[in-house]
A = this chain, B = another copy of it.
Amino acid sequence: MGLANESSVTTPKGAGPRSMNEDREMEILRAAYELLADVGYEALRLDAVANRAKASKATIYRHWAGKAELVAAAVRSCSTVETHIPDTGSLRGDLLASVGHLASSIAGYDGPVFAALIMAMRNDPEFANQMRAMQVSKRPIIEAILGRAQARGELKPGCDAGLLEEIGPGLIFMHVFALGEPVDDAFVRHIVDDILLPLLTPCGCQ
């Protein structure tokens, strides 16, 4: 029972009005992210963000330069893209899991958030790089999947890992944005079975 000096405790008790500046940032980002998903970029009002976060506009502008930067940070911080390496035992299973997760992530940004990403990337090149890095961060996943497939002899020789990086997101993006259709399992299977597998595995004429 160290009676002595527990002042080092950072008052984890939530009851009182805490006012650290590390938490506020995150709370504001969450508020921004949720409103973003609700109403989209254009209709996102900073007053509404401040109100929902019980923050003040001054605080927002103390941390971010404007709407675009706030949205960029919000998406960066609250986006649910995770880097999980699937291992289902087969190339097809891995691809289905990987593409499926990507699809649900992107489709989760359905509708309004998409425009937000575009705007945020356009107005914040640094955020654009971040987003692209997020994309690049999937590289190890892809290589792990392909590595195991190669070990199992499922892979066509000389196939490029970069292919997966491009095709999956491109098609999903196309589907959601240009076609405006939701991304469902059938579409994921279509990508995997009709496009990726034929490109990766030994000729389907087998």
Minimal beta-carbon separation of A200 from chain B (angstroms): 10
Question: Which residues of the other chain, B, contact A202 by a CB distance below 8 angstroms?
Answer: 203, 205
For the complex with contacts A118-B118, A121-B177, 18 further pairs of A-B residues with Cβ separation under 8 Å are A40-B122, A42-B122, A114-B122, A115-B119, A121-B180, A132-B179, A132-B180, A156-B205, A160-B194, A163-B194, A166-B171, A167-B170, A169-B174, A169-B178, A170-B174, A173-B173, A173-B174, A205-B205
Copies of this chain held together in the complex: 4
Minimal beta-carbon separation of A25 from chain B (angstroms): 22
Counting from the closest, the 9 A-B pairs by CB-CB distance are A203-B203, A170-B170, A170-B174, A203-B205, A170-B171, A118-B118, A115-B122, A115-B118, A166-B171
Query: What string of 1s and 0s marks CB contacts (under 8 Å) between A148-175 and chain B?
Result: 0000000010001001001101110111
Chain B residue at smallest Cβ distance from A165: B174
A35 to B121 Cα, complex, angstroms: 20
Chain A residues bordering chain B, tally (CB within 8 A)? 39
A171 to B172 Cα, complex, angstroms: 10
The answer, among B156, B178, B195, B203, for a CB contact under 8 Å with A206, is: B203
Minimal beta-carbon separation of A86 from chain B (angstroms): 22
A135 to B181 Cα, complex, angstroms: 14
Query: What string of 1s and 0s marks CB contacts (under 8 Å) between A5-25 and chain B?
Result: 000000000000000000000
Question: Is the pair A177, B118 in contact by a Cβ cutoff of 8 Å?
Answer: yes
